[in-house]
Structure 1
């Protein structure tokens, strides 16, 4: 039935493993989005860096309230305090003396001598302006106080090497006071689509031609995933023309990918062009995406994907993307779920079938058929359904593995 998907994915991992050892780069935060950390990030400071108020209210010593006087109301026992100068965020406050309360804004530093904050709405009167004395209810030490290091402790590893830097991770880095970060350099991929039948988007089709979707489809997928992809097209089945393009790509790329020319036809330009190179062409037990090539061109890792648009895209999603996520941390791995099928399906024995689908009402609805040319169905999909090699029939309601796109 062909090489298993797991075996071919392992071969890709072995081929690309050296890419994980490339020298890291230091980049400013606004140039690090979507990249992966090259080393563990250790917090240089604590977060919060000082005790600060969680509320707009009055900073007090809880012990003063423990020795409360006065009557009781719905809030319990209360005590009157003299009001001192307010504490805005960003100010260094004076020490708070016993029997006093300081108006304090959210995020402002809690003054020395204070250990709790009473929200302004629980004060009498419940305001800051024109108040010389305020009556406050009993609170425990630490009430509405964000303690130093309660979020992040200085010296702790806050992000592990390989972590993909999204907006929240970069926000943490900035909050720690760092202006740049060590990242793994983006992967440089040369994407070469090949075939005499390919016409550029926007060009008028001659008889027998189709527009080249692969260059746009796969380069967009790579760039969206954080890969530095450059696409070219060789509109010929002449092996020499393709080989010249691949040789040029190998001078600068970390990985060369072709689409097309890897099947069993008489004019498979990729197979012919690389006949004398250490490249193996095989057929995987996968539908779509069976024909594959793997090896090196001028010492640079090479992968040959099939030419049908859905086949080349599935090859990226099922074979290459998971390996890059594991080795480099970029792109992020697809989220995987188990969901019920909305309708029955049949799958060829001995092959991993990858169907395009859409999530609807807690179930997964197949979009289009298993064909490798169905671009319209692919564009409507937001998930993949993976049917194992040993499964040939599934009924509506059966659970399946789903990858969210």
Structure 2
């Protein structure tokens, strides 16, 4: 536009200066019906230039107004967006302070004006979940889905809330197919398989989540124990089939506490006490088990525990400062009806660290040996430790 204006000025100057130099200013005659207008060339040129200048000014003003409208709309939009971002920050602050109701309110108010509204709705849904309000959780999760149904975080939270076992299994498999290496997907699918007891699928997933810090170690051990317990339970009451499944388990896995404990779970439940005792003894010899691991089992049905007791005595020599080894020795001594040894071992454990289990076992040992008053006192001390 500036170039056109300069061109007009140059032409006007040419039309004015040219005739003046030639000594003939010239004239212009305009006929319009019965009317006629005559003026000098200089005046006509100035009028044309003034008209073009006025046209340019009108066009410039129109552009300015149009640009200002867009600027105003952009300013209002950015203002709302900044306000929404502040509300989201307040929601996060309330979330961290465990003020979940306020967190949900701020997050939902912020969501419509965020660049990614689903983030606000997901935070609100998480807050309602923490409050246990399933109705509001489903509502805000639905809003998140409506705003971005392809968002991975939305899909993961939906998976977490699914109650239909078949649908959860299908959704988890689809997510794993779409995101086979995504840590959040692997963790969510593992939790889904465990929740809905798809333990075979969980066992197949375990190699992909091990050693990646995707789930806490205790949770991973729980997944492993449950999935392999299901595998060994498939043997039914056949000890031969159960042993075959154990032998088919890779040697490296047989040396992990969770897998061996799963095998012991099934052996104990099926009544294979002698085999259970041997498996436990081997686990101690390989340093797979600790005393705390074996104390989880009901060993009253275990048989042929002499080798196991000898292994526990070796562990006591290596770890004399750990009371649970003495408690375990007391349990095995009770199995062999050696109540004197049981009393001494458990009293030693109590002297290092009193516990409800130790006092209860001491009461059992006293009662079995006919010391009813001492047994009653031990049981009372066990009750006081609750």
With normalisation by structure 1, the TM-score equals 0.20
Query: Of the two structures, which has the highest relative contact order with CA contacts closer than 8 Å and spacing of 6 or more?
Result: 1
Greater strand share, 1 or 2? 1
With normalisation by structure 2, the TM-score equals 0.21
